[in-house]
């Protein structure tokens, strides 16, 4: 099999060539349909082409659960190889120009070199993620009983210092945000004083906030459970918002779609956080039962659409302090992570396009007139429209692939990685 570099513009153009005529015809047909609804297809395509989502560095490795991990061929072995894979995703989709790092998983001695390496792939850096939910080799104090909320001030100080290190690394990389998610909590009723643990959280995060550069934002990520299975300190958006308000204007709430109880109305949370002017961003994924970290849009695409509906509402209303950071946060246990991440980025664009084509004037009138059925139909009409030609056209207009997965497979990139990156055997469990 002949190998090709999927990042190469000539390769992408040659993969696009046989698909271009069909796309032109599908796009013009959809354009006619939409114009009958008063929608200009090119405006939607331009908006989709401007949509961006960050790739988490940890997403390009095969994931796993605490029951095991089944490594794939040619997995990246260090942060530079992760950037190589992110470069492929970015070039083929045209939607993922930034990477989000997790420290210390992605620690390196030379962040300047890392930044230059990323720039060569056309990549920048999104939010920095601090990791105080596991111990690292050589770390003096353990996080077994918590980090930023630990009962021992020395452990809290260590966790704060780690977050300050992340900010320092991020400054060198050109990042502008720190995402703080902690696993702190309790496995038994009585194990922890629920109120005091929150107080300790506020005290620790205030020290981090003080070190935050003026043009940075701090994202507080809530999660209902896991690894603490009885109570988690920042378990919901209420705790997150309380903390964000107390800490100061640079603090925002981050919504990871997988971090809620099943059936929770996430779009409602989004709307409330927009109202509070504290919606910082998203970790996109999908779930069926809990923090399953399934591929975005794979289980509940309608829910994803409803979230984007709120985002489009906020965008059109020019909601103050509204500039959410988008990131994927998923675990790919049975697929090639590059294929899953490309597909997921496209699913976000799909939900965005579907939300953009909703007839909002009609929707408003049906709402005002209490015509529940027609309001629901008007909304759903966006969801049931196949916007695929818009997405493909947006990619083609940026020199990305009309069919990213097909182009990727054609390039033989994974097999090339399999040769270049001999696998490390690992039979242990892993969270990601």
Q: Does 291 bind Mn ion (CB under 5 A)?
A: yes
Exactly one of 51, 111, 143, 181 binds ligand RM4 (CB under 6 A); which one? 181
Q: At closest approach, how far in Å is the CB of 289 from Mn ion?
A: 13
Contact between 247 and 312 (Cβ < 8 Å) = no
Contact between 343 and 311 (Cβ < 8 Å) = no
Q: At closest approach, how far in Å is the CB of 431 from ligand RM4?
A: 6
Count residues contacting Mn ion (CB under 5 A)? Answer: 4
Exactly one of 313, 329, 336, 347 binds ligand RM4 (CB under 6 A); which one? 329
Q: Does 221 bind ligand RM4 (CB under 6 A)?
A: yes
Q: What is the spatial distance between Cα 411 and Cα 121, in angstroms, rounded to a whole number?
A: 17
Q: For residue 83, how far is the Cα from the chain centroid?
A: 16
Q: Does 106 bind Mn ion (CB under 5 A)?
A: no
If you ran DSSP here, which 8-state letter would residue 62 be given?
-
Binders of Mn ion among residues 323 to 362 (CB under 5 A) are 329
432 binds, among Mn ion, ligand RM4, none (CB under 5 to 8 A by kind): ligand RM4
In the structure encoding, which two tokens stand for residue 371, read together? 């015509």
Contact between 99 and 128 (Cβ < 8 Å) = no
Q: What is the spatial distance between Cα 103 and Cα 29, in angstroms, rounded to a whole number?
A: 48
Residue 182 has phi, psi (to 5 degrees) of -120, 145
106 binds, among Mn ion, ligand RM4, none (CB under 5 to 8 A by kind): none
Q: At closest approach, how far in Å is the CB of 256 from ligand RM4?
A: 5
Binders of ligand RM4 among residues 116 to 175 (CB under 6 A) are 129
Q: At closest approach, how far in Å is the CB of 2 from ligand RM4?
A: 37
Residue 75: C-alpha distances to residues 62, 72, 404, 423 (Å): 7, 6, 19, 7
List the alpha helices (DSSP H) in 357-386. Answer: 360-368, 372-384
Exactly one of 256, 286, 310, 315 binds ligand RM4 (CB under 6 A); which one? 256
Q: Does 287 bind ligand RM4 (CB under 6 A)?
A: no
Following DSSP, what letter does each residue of 91-108 receive, concatenated? HHHS---EEEEEETTT--
Residue 330 has phi, psi (to 5 degrees) of -135, 165
Exactly one of 256, 295, 310, 347 binds Mn ion (CB under 5 A); which one? 256
Exactly one of 75, 286, 291, 347 binds ligand RM4 (CB under 6 A); which one? 291
If you ran DSSP here, which 8-state letter would residue 423 be given?
P
85 binds, among ligand RM4, Mn ion, none (CB under 5 to 8 A by kind): none
First to last CA, the chain: 32
260 binds, among ligand RM4, Mn ion, none (CB under 5 to 8 A by kind): none
Which residues would be at the binding site for ligand RM4 (CB under 6 A)?
A: 102, 129, 181, 221, 223, 256, 283, 291, 329, 432
Which residues would be at the binding site for Mn ion (CB under 5 A)?
A: 256, 283, 291, 329
């Amino acid at each position: 099999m002949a190998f090709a570099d999927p990042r190469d513009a000539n390769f992408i153009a040659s993969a696009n060539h046989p698909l271009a005529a069909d796309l032109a015809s599908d796009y013009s047909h959809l354009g006619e349909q939409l114009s009958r609804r008063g929608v200009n297809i090119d405006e939607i395509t331009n908006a989709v082409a401007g949509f961006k989502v960050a790739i988490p560095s940890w997403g390009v490795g095969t994931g796993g659960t605490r029951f095991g991990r089944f490594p794939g061929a040619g997995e990246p072995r260090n942060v530079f190889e992760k950037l190589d894979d992110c470069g492929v995703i970015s070039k083929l989709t045209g939607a993922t120009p930034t990477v989000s790092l997790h420290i210390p998983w992605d620690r390196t001695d030379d962040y300047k070199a890392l930044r230059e390496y990323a720039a060569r792939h056309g990549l920048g850096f999104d939010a920095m993620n601090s990791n105080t939910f596991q111990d690292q080799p050589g770390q003096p104090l353990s996080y077994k009983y918590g980090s930023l909320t630990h009962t021992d001030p020395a452990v809290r100080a260590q966790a704060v210092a780690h977050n300050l290190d992340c900010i320092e690394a991020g400054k060198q990389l050109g990042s502008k945000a720190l995402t703080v998610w902690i696993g702190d909590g309790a496995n038994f009723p009585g194990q922890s004083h629920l109120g005091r643990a929150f107080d300790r959280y506020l005290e620790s995060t205030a020290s981090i906030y003080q070190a935050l550069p003026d043009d940075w934002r701090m994202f507080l990520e809530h999660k209902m459970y896991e690894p603490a299975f009885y109570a988690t300190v920042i378990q919901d958006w209420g705790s997150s918002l309380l903390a964000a308000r107390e800490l100061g204007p640079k603090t925002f709430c981050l919504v990871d779609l997988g971090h809620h109880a099943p059936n929770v109305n996430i779009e409602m949370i989004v709307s409330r956080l927009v109202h509070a002017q504290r919606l910082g961003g998203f970790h996109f994924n999908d779930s069926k039962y809990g923090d399953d970290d399934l591929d975005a849009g794979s289980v509940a695409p309608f829910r994803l659409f409803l979230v984007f509906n709120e985002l489009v509402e906020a965008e059109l209303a020019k909601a103050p302090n509204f500039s959410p950071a988008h990131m994927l946060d998923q675990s790919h246990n049975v697929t090639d992570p590059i294929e899953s991440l490309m597909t997921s980025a496209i699913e976000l664009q799909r939900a965005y396009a579907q939300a953009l084509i909703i007839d909002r004037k009609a929707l408003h009138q049906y709402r005002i007139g209490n015509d529940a059925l027609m309001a629901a139909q008007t909304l759903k009409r966006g969801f049931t429209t196949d916007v695929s030609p818009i997405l493909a056209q947006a990619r083609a207009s940026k020199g990305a692939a009309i069919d990213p997965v097909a182009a990727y497979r054609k390039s033989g990139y994974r097999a090339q990685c399999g040769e270049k990156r001999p696998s490390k055997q690992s039979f242990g469990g892993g969270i990601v």
